[in-house]
């Protein structure tokens, strides 16, 4: 009978307080059956996992001890691009390795870290360094080394750290309640590019575009509509859509937040009461097709099954084929469902063709699309003539 295979993994961390609280990455500690902490003087102590937060990749451990050497916490919000930083960790098991570099960017948004405005640096970080501290030149911890960008598995000049301010917010919640709660508005957002800014009558690309409103959500109760662009949240400007989930996430549950939005080119103030984020998933066949030579697109009416999947009274037409032209250039794909054209709901394929004929020539117009069970806006720029 084969014996069970035991695997060991290495990571780094640092002592937060003299009584033995230790900070590291969630991906270092969360699936471990047993955690052993080796201190800088080579003493080893068993550690208890107090709590983890996968969304920020933060884990809090605890070892027994008194008067342990603790780090000094710095201000990650004060970090500037070009500032020198130092990382300490155990790359490939090589303990107490120090590497240095500069801050390359702050507030970096990564697909794997919706709620983390990463600190990007060129500090060399490799497997085993995860969870180690990132120091500024004053010897203060400003981040937790968390990720690298690599096509080989090794360091390639880009490393990412979790800002210590965000990590400490997570630590306080874990200590006080044993879990981390986040605010929830109930919208799906997308970035505003130049064409969308033009289509929505915005002075420049900024804000967060509301592509979809989830049912029974705070956004639905507050009166949000698809196509709203959120420009300010609680008085703070929203320059990029990636900012807003983090702003909502740290908002206390139950708090009513004022927001400044743009709707149909007009400014509007709206308030929403933030709910708690809880721990969601559709399919797509065809009927009569209609081709539009102006946008170089062919669409079809939705089948009954598709309409049921989308909602009983859901509008829309199915994109079946695309040729090179305005629709393809805007980012439409076959199997996308077009819900609105220039703010007008699309109810049938034949109506869609008529709507396109009425579009202003040589202008960018918003088109609301459903793709993979999510809504998003695209900006189609019509030809000057057609």
What is the dihedral sign for C-alpha 164, 166, 172, 174? negative
Q: Are strands 97-110 and 140-148 parallel, antiparallel or unpaired?
A: unpaired
Contact 106, 80 (CB under 8 A): yes
**CB crowding 280-311: b at 16 or more within 10 Å, else e:** eeeebeeeeebebebbbbbbbbbeeebeeebe
Q: Judge whether 57 counts as a catalytic residue.
A: yes
Q: What is the C-alpha separation between 348 and 288, in angstroms, rounded?
A: 10
Please name the residues in contact with 40: beta carbons below 8 A apart, sequence gap of 6 or more: 69, 96
> How far is Cα 171 from Cα 143, in angstroms, rounded to an integer?
14
- Any catalytic annotation for residue 76? no
Per the CB < 8 A criterion, the answer to whether 129 and 43 are in contact is: no
How far is 218 from 62, CA to CA, in rounded Å? 37
CA dihedral of residues 139, 141, 142, 145 (deg, nearest 10)? 120
Q: How far apart are CA 69 and CA 168, in angstroms?
A: 18
Which candidate in 12, 90, 104, 130 is catalytic?
130
Instruction: Measure CA 271 to chain center.
Output: 23
Cβ burial of 177 (10 Å; 0-12, 13-18, 19+) is exposed
Using CA atoms, how far apart are residues 369 and 160, in angstroms rounded to an integer?
Answer: 33
Annotated catalytic residue within 57, 195, 228, 336? 57
Compute the Cα dihedral for 138, 142, 147, 150 and give only its sign. negative
Q: Which residues are catalytic?
A: 27, 57, 130
């Amino acid at each position: 009978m084969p014996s069970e295979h035991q695997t060991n993994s290495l990571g780094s961390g640092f002592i937060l307080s003299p009584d033995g609280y230790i900070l590291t990455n969630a991906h270092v500690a969360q699936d471990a059956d047993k955690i052993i902490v080796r201190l800088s003087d080579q003493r080893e102590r068993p550690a208890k996992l107090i709590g983890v937060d996968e969304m920020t990749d933060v884990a809090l451990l605890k070892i027994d001890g008194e008067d342990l050497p603790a780090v000094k916490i710095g201000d990650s919000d004060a970090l500037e691009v070009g500032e020198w930083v130092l990382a300490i960790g155990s790359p490939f098991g090589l303990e107490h390795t120090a590497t240095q570099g500069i801050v390359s960017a702050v507030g970096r948004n990564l697909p794997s870290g919706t709620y983390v405005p990463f600190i990007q640096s060129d500090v060399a970080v490799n497997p085993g360094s995860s969870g180690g501290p990132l120091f500024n030149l004053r010897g203060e911890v400003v981040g937790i080394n968390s990720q690298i960008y690599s096509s080989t598995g090794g360091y390639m000049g880009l490393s990412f750290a979790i800002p210590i301010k965000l990590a400490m917010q997570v630590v306080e919640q874990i200590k006080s309640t044993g879990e981390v709660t986040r605010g929830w508005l109930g919208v799906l957002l997308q970035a505003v590019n130049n064409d969308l800014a033009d289509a929505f009558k915005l002075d420049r690309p900024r804000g967060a575009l509301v592509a979809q409103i989830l049912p029974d959500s705070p956004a639905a109760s507050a009166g949000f509509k698809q196509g709203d662009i959120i420009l300010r949240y609680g008085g703070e400007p929203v320059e990029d859509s990636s900012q807003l989930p983090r702003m909502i996430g740290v908002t206390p549950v139950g708090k009513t937040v004022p927001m400044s939005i743009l709707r149909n080119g007009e400014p509007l103030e709206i308030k929403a009461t933030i709910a708690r984020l809880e721990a969601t998933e559709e399919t797509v066949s065809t009927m009569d097709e209609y081709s539009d030579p102006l946008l170089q697109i062919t669409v079809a009416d939705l089948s009954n099954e598709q309409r049921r999947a989308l909602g009983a009274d859901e509008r829309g037409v199915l994109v079946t084929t695309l040729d090179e032209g305005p629709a393809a250039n805007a980012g439409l794909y076959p199997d996308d469902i077009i819900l609105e054209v220039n703010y007008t709901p699309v109810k049938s394929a034949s109506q869609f063709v008529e709507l396109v004929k009425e579009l202003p020539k040589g202008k960018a117009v918003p088109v609301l699309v459903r793709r993979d069970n999510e809504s998003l806006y695209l900006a189609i720029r019509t030809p000057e003539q057609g």
